[in-house]
Structure 1
Amino acid sequence: MPFIVFMISQDTIVALATPPGSGAIAVIRVSGTEAMAICSPLFRSISGKKLEQQKTHTIHLGHIVDEERVLDEVLVSLFKNTNSYTGEPTVEISCHGSTYIQQEIIQLLLRKGCRAADPGEFTLRAFLNGKLDLSQAEAVADLIASDSQASHQVAMQQMRGGFSNEIKKLRDELLNFASLIELELDFAEEDVEFADRKQFRELVDRITHVLKRLIDSFAVGNVIKNGIPVAIVGEPNVGKSTLLNLLLNEERAIVSEIAGTTRDTVEDEISIGGVNFRFIDTAGIRDTEDVVESIGIKKTFEKIEQAQVVVYLIDSAVQTEATLAKLKIEIEKVKNKYPQKPLIVVANKVDKLDPEAIAIITEQVPNIHLLSAKTGLGVEELQNKFLEFVNTGALRNDETIVTNSRHYDALLKALEEIQKVQYGLDQELSGDLMAIDIRQALFHLGEITGEITTDDLLGNIFANFCIGK
């Protein structure tokens, strides 16, 4: 069973903690055992105080100097000993946001003994120093990358330890029973039973239930993290581009009366109810001799394959009972070809219809959504329909939601081992056989929080972080 062998580097690292480029303020982070010793001689306090003599979690105004040359007036924040994000002495220098000033200060720190930090190295040190577990560390990257209310909420919940606490509780209970079963093996000749099989079965059933709930939550979590791609399809000139522009509230796609204007896909994202949706305006589907338009139509079907929701748009103003009957056949074809994808049939341009025509459409095509992309009629109801495909109840209830594919994979493997344990209990197998499966389940649960990991895994995770975090 591999354990952490990743050595904590003792050198002192430096990096820009704010985004690169000019701004009002930039923050340069220095972390390591020599952080105070390196920064103190470079800082002249306005009050004349010595930096290394000041208390932790204090801020000081002064100047960064390179011998007698003043580089900038700065604020320096001190985090002494282990009282920092990384769990080691840390100094944060808030300077003016000139790229020249930033580089001058960083180069000075490098000359005085710092090393340029690798991507994610500050958070890696926080993990290795026990400030965060691995799932919390990964949530830091998710929080930085969050671009919607829902993804932010999930990342915050995970960073606060909601997910890891749930996994740790399961693992501790399972570990307790595992130790009792291992103890039974030591006294095999006396034929004694330390682990109550009834309690053990109840525990295994509870773990199974929790693991299945977490695994099922990944479908929602993946959507929250990555957004929902929605393909808008239909014949030419039915208002697909107009609908896209209305949803995005900007003139994103070219709109004209000429059929076939959209020859390539147009994509953009908006947030609805805190969840990101990526809308894809596609070329109109029809038979055509135009080579370029044909390529666009081919791309349309590719985008349908990639989408999670399909909006099938029709022009209600040109429909008759005969064309509606044909439309129902086309809808069934799409449903049969993409059975896993929710299909919303939308009748556009209903502002041109009288009540009788509307009644015919709703009778002929059940569950059709009426819309006017021109006036905005029915758009809010359509947006609510999109949200129905996302189970946001878990967010409101503050339940744990899995968004990380690595966690999802580990949960699946843990569940597989727990089900083997269940089978062993049903078949009344000996403790030594069940102990193997229990150890494997503990291993996979430990992979999530980082209690069990490898250098390669840590390298892959933290390589995806931004530098400075």
Structure 2
Amino acid sequence: MSTGLVSQDTIVALATSPGANGAIAVIRLSGSQAITITNTVFKGKDLQKQASHTIHFGTIRDGDEIIDEVLVSVFKGPNSYTKEDVIEISTHNSKYVIERLITLLIKKGARAAQAGEFTLRAFLNGGMDLSQAEAVADLIASENKASHEIAMNQMRGGISNKLQEMREQLINFTALLELELDFGEEDVEFADRAQFEALVLELKTHIGKLIQSFAYGNAIKRGVPVAIIGKPNAGKSTLLNTLLDEERAIVSDIAGTTRDTIEESINIEGITFRFIDTAGLRETADTIEAIGVTKAKEKVRQAKVLLYLYDDKDSTADEVIAQIKELYYPGLIVVLVRNKIDLLGGYQPNAMDTAIREALFPNYSEALVPISAKDSESVEALKQTLLDNIRAMAVEDQQIITNSRHVEALELALAALEQVEEGFAIQLPGDLLAHHVRAALRHISSITGDIDVDRDILGTIFGKFCIGK
């Protein structure tokens, strides 16, 4: 990876969240002059004579004026986050103090850091690969246990380690293929074709699993969208209120009460679910309600999970089957929810259940959960069904990707490897095989950054980071 993009400037920024109510703020500097610049305004020990990974108490001064009492942490490259000399100043979390300190440090020779520039330097200086750097942003944005675990795994090289290993093997085989070209007249083979085919198959399998994991990873990262659908008075709003344990949606016996969508999120065992209560599905002459019905169907198209509520009194098996088939699209998880079992004295399987199961299982749904939407204990079984379905999307011991850029690169790499396989089948010459292998390598390497990555791509990736990271 070329490091030509690394700036020689010393950069400075607030590393903690601006506007936070905490007592302490941290200002970070990175670059060859980080220690020298800080030393010019720090009254205490001579920072240039201190060991790495030490903390020192003193004051920051502008001339004779004391701006604040601080703790200064010293990290000497390459044993730092950016692989450069890094200073972190822990100061009191006053907007005035922070602005004075940063302005003073810039006056002494530092430059205000751009969004993500500290992590960009860590990547360009070899501290992490590109997929690990992108995981830093995911870690900062993680809002639940599951997304945190995925981001931490990616930061530790969970995705890139296996790709790096296979990439090295592909490079070795490509070199042997190209070496054969130098001995073309002698008709020799340096690359073991059987071993090469096995490697391509293994890499295809691994990439295919990574691509499949995106559906799970993206849902975890952004929260799983769950559309609550059914006829008017099926109990959708009651269910939402029970899930949230608060009166969020208006509940009424009057059909058509919910005319717009209501969205709320809850965390269930480390996974965030975004529940969407929608207008009841029915033909209506009411213009406003009809708009609500249309929006309800649109929300289903945006959802990962569909909770379809019905009850024995107001629905028939044919109605449920017809609406599920109308709403279904490949990849949608459909959970059939038979509501109001409390009115029957509990759940008893009946002919309606049998008809629905026979018509919809397993092509459209694999779950039918009986509940009373008013009973929180009853709804616990529904929560567990949701968890089971989402967790089933993840393959055991499989790495999870959450980045759409990675998916696109992996799909292109997979297409190139399929061309390599086709080349084996028709005994394609080594130079043409090498062409397809190089294409696969290029796409794999764009994930980890093991090629010169376009400046605009890096700008897009790191521009999404917060200032100071």
Sort the Cα spacing of 1:88 and 1:327 in 2 relative to 1 into closer, same or farther, 3 A.
same
- State the percentage of identical aligned residues: 53
Contact 2:317 2:355 in 1 (8 A): no
Deviation of residue 336 (structure 1)? 4.0
Deviation at 1:61, TM superposition (A): 1.2
Paired residue type of 1:348: N
**Pair 1:337–1:294, CA change in 2 (3 A):** closer
> Which residue in 1 is equivalent to 2:11?
13
Counterpart of 1:124 in structure 2 is 120
Q: Is the 8 A contact 1:23 1:98 kept in 2?
A: no
Return the alpha-carbon distance in structure 1 between the equivalents of residues 392 and 100 of structure 2. Answer: 48
Name the SS for the 1:106 alignment partner: helix
**Structure 1 counterpart of 2:159:** 163
Distance across 1 between alignment mates of 2:52 and 2:91 = 20
Alignment of 1:121-200 (within 5 A): 121-200=117-196
- Given candidates 316, 319, 323, the residue that maps to 1:329 is 319
**CA deviation string 1:353-373 (max 9, x = no partner):** 235876565456446421112
- Indicate conservation of the 8 Å contact 2:113/2:468, yes or no: yes
**1:18-76 CA distances to partner (integer Å, 9 max, x unpaired)?**
1111421111111111111110121112xxx2121111100111111111111111111
Q: CA deviation at 1:337?
A: 4.0
Q: Corresponding residue for 1:428?
A: 427
Partner SS for 1:253: coil
Query: What is the letter of the counterpart of residue 30 of structure 2?
Result: S
| 1:390 equivalent in structure 2 | 390
- Counterparts of 1:312 and 1:210 in 2: how far apart (Å)? 35
Q: Where does the alignment leave 5 or more consecutive residues of structure 1 unmatched?
A: none
User: Is the contact made by 2:243 and 2:376 (CA closer than 8 Å) also made in structure 1?
Assistant: no
Asked if 2 retains the 8 angstrom alpha-carbon contact of 1:350 and 1:358, the reply is: no
2:59 aligned partner: 63
Partner SS for 2:389: coil
The 3 A distance-change label for structure 1 pair 295 and 356 is closer
The offset of 1:5, in angstroms, is: 7.0
Structure 1 residue 332: Cα displacement: 2.8
Matched to 1:205, the amino acid is L
1:334 aligned partner, one-letter code: I
Q: Contact conserved, 2:416 with 2:440, CA < 8 A, in 1?
A: yes
Does structure 1 retain, via aligned residues, the 8 Å contact 2:321–2:356? no
Q: CA deviation at 1:421?
A: 1.2
Provide the residue aligned with 2:360 in structure 1: none
Output the amino acid matched with 1:13: I
Residue aligned with 1:264, SS: coil
Equivalent position of 2:43 in the other structure: 44
Using the TM superposition, name which of 344-353 and 54-63 deviates more.
Answer: 344-353
Q: Which residue identity lines up with residue 433 of structure 1 in the other structure?
A: L
The 2-side partners of 1:196 and 1:364 are apart by 57
The answer to whether the Cα contact below 8 Å between 1:371 and 1:377 also exists between their aligned partners in 2 is no
Rounded Cα–Cα distance in structure 1 between residues aligned with 2:264 and 2:459: 33
- Secondary structure of the residue aligned to 1:466 is coil
CA-CA distance at 1:392 after TM superposition: 5.1
The TM-score with structure 1 as length reference comes to 0.92
In the alignment, does 2:264 pair up with 1:268?
A: yes
Matched-pair contact (CA < 8 Å) for 1:270–1:278: yes
In the alignment, the residues of structure 1 paired with residue 284 and residue 195 of structure 2 have an alpha-carbon distance, to the nearest angstrom, of: 69
Q: Indicate whether 1:72 and 2:84 are aligned.
A: no
Per-residue deviation, residues 301-336 of structure 1 (Å, max 9, x unmatched): 1111211211121245xx1xxx54x34334333224
Contact 1:234 1:314 in 2 (8 A): yes
Which amino acid in the other structure matches residue 334 of structure 2? L
What is the CA RMSD across the aligned residues, in angstroms? Answer: 2.0
C-alpha contact 2:132 2:157 (8 A) present in aligned 1: yes
Partners in 2 of 1:211 and 1:285 — Cα distance? 41
1:425-461 Cα deviation digits (max 9, x unpaired)? 2222211111111111111111110012111111111
Residue 307 (structure 1) aligns with: 303
Partner-residue secondary structure (3-state), 2:249: coil
Matches of 2:30 and 2:244 in 1, distance apart?
44
Equivalent positions of 1:147-296 (< 5 A) are 147-296=143-292
> Is 1:28 aligned to residue 24 of structure 2?
no
Q: Deviations over 1:251-292 (max 9, x none)?
A: 322333433332211101122232221100112223334333
CA distance in 1, matches of 2:410, 2:58: 51
Correspondence 1:107 to 2:103:
yes
Of 322, 328, 340, which aligns to 1:349? 340
In structure 2, C-alpha distance between the alignment counterparts of 1:215 and 1:291, rounded to whole Å:
43
1-structure distance, mates of 2:26, 2:71: 9
Matches of 2:353 and 2:406, distance apart in 1: 45
What is the rounded CA distance, in whole Å, between the counterparts of 1:356 and 1:35 in structure 2?
A: 69
Number of residue pairs matched?
457
Match for 1:338 among 316, 328, 340? 328
Structure 1 pair 335–111 and aligned structure 2 pair: CA distance change class (3 A): same
TM-score by length of 2: 0.92
2:209 touches 2:398 (CA, 8 Å); kept in 1?
no
**How far apart, CA to CA, are the structure 2 residues paired with 1:208 and 1:68?**
66
Cα separation, 1, equivalents of 2:71 and 2:397: 38
Separation of aligned partners in 2, 1:184 and 1:309: 53
Contact 1:5 1:454 in 2 (8 A): no
CA contact (8 A) 1:4 1:455 kept: no
Counterpart residue type for residue 171 of structure 2: L
